[in-house]
Amino acid sequence: MYDCLNRSLNIKDYPDFRFWQGVSYNSSDNSFTRNNGPFKGTPSQFYYNNNTSNLTPSNNIPYDIYAPLIAFNITDAPAIDNITSIIPGQASQVTINGNHFGRDSSYVLISIQGSQCKSPMFIENNYQQITCSLGSVEPYSTDLNYTVKIGVGGMLTTKVVSLAKECLNDCSAHGICNQTFGTCKCDSGHEPLLDCSSLDNRSQLLNTTIWDNGASLLSTDQTITGVIVNFTTGIQFIRDINQDKSIIKTLSIDNLAWTQEEEKTSSGESVFNARMFNQRTQLQVTVGQFQDTNTTSFLGEDIQVSPNSVKYRIKIINWVWSSPINTLQVIFHTQSDSVEFDKCGKLKVRSDISRGDQIIWTRVQVGRTLLNCKIASRMVIDNSTIIPSKVTLLTNDDPVSQQIWKSRKFNLLTTFHIPRFSHSVELDPVFNALILGDDSNLPYECTEETTEQWTFIIVAVVLSAALLSIIVVVLVITTK
């Protein structure tokens, strides 16, 4: 028999909570078995204490239940703070942040735009972040508004959320803001800056050179140590990470043997290949150089490419996993050839990242040289599943950070976090750089002389099989 035992169970360690649970009584061993929630789950048993002589399932005497129960706050309905990772018109793995979702995700019912978001699962142990699988839905308006409903234990919350993203400086009146992605499509001549704020010409662009391992050099003959600098960029490390976020193994790209395919692609791109793990795993780097402004599309997202750009596609195929629950980190390394200190011993650098739930761009200024990075908001795994990109900045105590820091140059380590995949994963970041007329944008004021100090910014990428698209652009802005 099934019964709601909110009066007949003494719920241990759940003060001020109500109990909502379908259970059945097993007379053979005096235990209760619960139903694990709507549409899924295997029943699990609850046991009461041994001091229960003369109890029957009908005498309404409290049972002391020690196993985890489906407990909900008495007065608070589910609270929705924000929702991320919806991809309009495509299936998405959605993340919802909030509170009062209970402690068993199988009892959380979620709908977005009237469509059920299936297989809810808590991400953290504080039960305030939950993810679910959503089919293709569209917003109700151009404001990118979505109606989200969450039901927990008979309590329902409805909230309209907007996923519109702001563009940097609203594109400075020299471009069009794509609110779906938070990126600018700049007017002609304004493409090299993320916010379209400066008009530049072709004579200010730096040259690009592709090396035989797929890495690139962005260079100018106007270099001044620590002021006007050159940059190199390319994949540097691949790391296998376990569930505890411990590093299981690290592969340096420098230790791989590379070959270049004789034939270029139909778009004129060069293709470089390397193999590892007894030839089972393949790393493919496809590099294209753009002489003029262009627009590339990645998973439905348009990315504007500035003149004199280098665009990467990086694909990892058949990664050999250390564990079926591990993830992969692919670390893309961008480095200046020099850096300058002020008289206080501080680096003449600054860094900035996009606001909101995703990092979709970064900016780094070394002296008068500004490096921009655009990052696609989506990635694709196994050539079919589209998920939001996840990019973070590595902390200074990370082993890669410590290793790179010893180079005494400014470093940008771009890292995407990617769940396990069976075959491949595809990413699309874009880099460009320019030389400013001065370093007045550097956010510090030297007030007292100190010894030299080193700081750096690191962004990491977690992958299994990966296809990265990276566009690199450099230009020079001269003062008149």
pLDDT tens per residue, range 289-302? 888 888 888 888 88
Q: By the 8 A CB rule, do 71 and 18 touch?
A: yes
Of the pLDDT bands very low, low, confident and very high (cuts 50, 70, 90), residue 195 is very high
Sequence-distant (≥ 6) Cβ neighbours of residue 111 within 8 angstroms: 117, 148, 149
Nearest to 290 by CA among 474, 476, 477: 474
Of the pLDDT bands very low, low, confident and very high (cuts 50, 70, 90), residue 416 is confident
Q: By the 8 A CB rule, do 380 and 386 touch?
A: yes
How high is the pLDDT of residue 447?
A: 60
Give the number of other CB atoms < 10 A from CB of residue 50: 8
96-110 per-position pLDDT tens digit: 999 888 888 888 899
Three-point CA angle 389, 394, 395, nearest 5°: 150
Give the number of other CB atoms < 10 A from CB of residue 64: 14
Section 359-385 average pLDDT: 86
Distances (CA, A) of 46 to 9, 24, 68, 394, 450: 11, 10, 8, 43, 64
Using H for helix, E for strand and C for coil, what is the string for 424-454? CEECCEEEEEEECCCCCCCCCCCCCCCCCCC
Sequence-distant (≥ 6) Cβ neighbours of residue 286 within 8 angstroms: 265, 269, 270, 271, 272, 312, 313, 314, 315
Task: Report whether pLDDT(52) > 90.
Answer: no
Task: Report whether pLDDT(81) > 70.
Answer: yes
426-461 per-position pLDDT tens digit: 888 877 777 777 777 776 566 655 444 434 444 444
How do strand 183-186 and strand 385-388 relate by DSSP bridges?
Answer: unpaired
- What the block records as the tokens of 365 is 């200024």
CA atoms of 455 and 404, how far apart (whole Å): 11
Q: By the 8 A CB rule, do 256 and 214 touch?
A: no
CA atoms of 166 and 180, how far apart (whole Å): 9
Rounded (10°) CA dihedral 326, 116, 92, 300: 170
Q: By the 8 A CB rule, do 372 and 196 touch?
A: no
Share of the chain above pLDDT 90, in %: 19
Give the number of other CB atoms < 10 A from CB of residue 444: 12
- What the block records as the tokens of 62 is 């409290």
Q: Count CA within 13 A, CB hemisphere, residue 367.
A: 21
- Please state the pTM of the whole predicted model: 0.72
Sequence-distant (≥ 6) Cβ neighbours of residue 386 within 8 angstroms: 87, 90, 91, 92, 299, 378, 379, 380
Structural domains of the chain ordered from first start? 2-72 (no CATH), 76-162 (2.60.40.10), 200-476 (no CATH)
Phi/psi at 404 (5° precision): -70, -35
Nearest to 457 by CA among 406, 399, 405, 403: 405
Q: By the 8 A CB rule, do 200 and 477 touch?
A: yes
Nearest to 253 by CA among 473, 413, 426: 413
How do strand 281-290 and strand 155-162 relate by DSSP bridges?
Answer: unpaired
112-142 per-position pLDDT tens digit: 998 999 999 888 777 899 999 998 888 877 7
Amino acid type, 405: W
Nearest to 69 by CA among 124, 15, 29: 15
Q: By the 8 A CB rule, do 260 and 271 touch?
A: yes
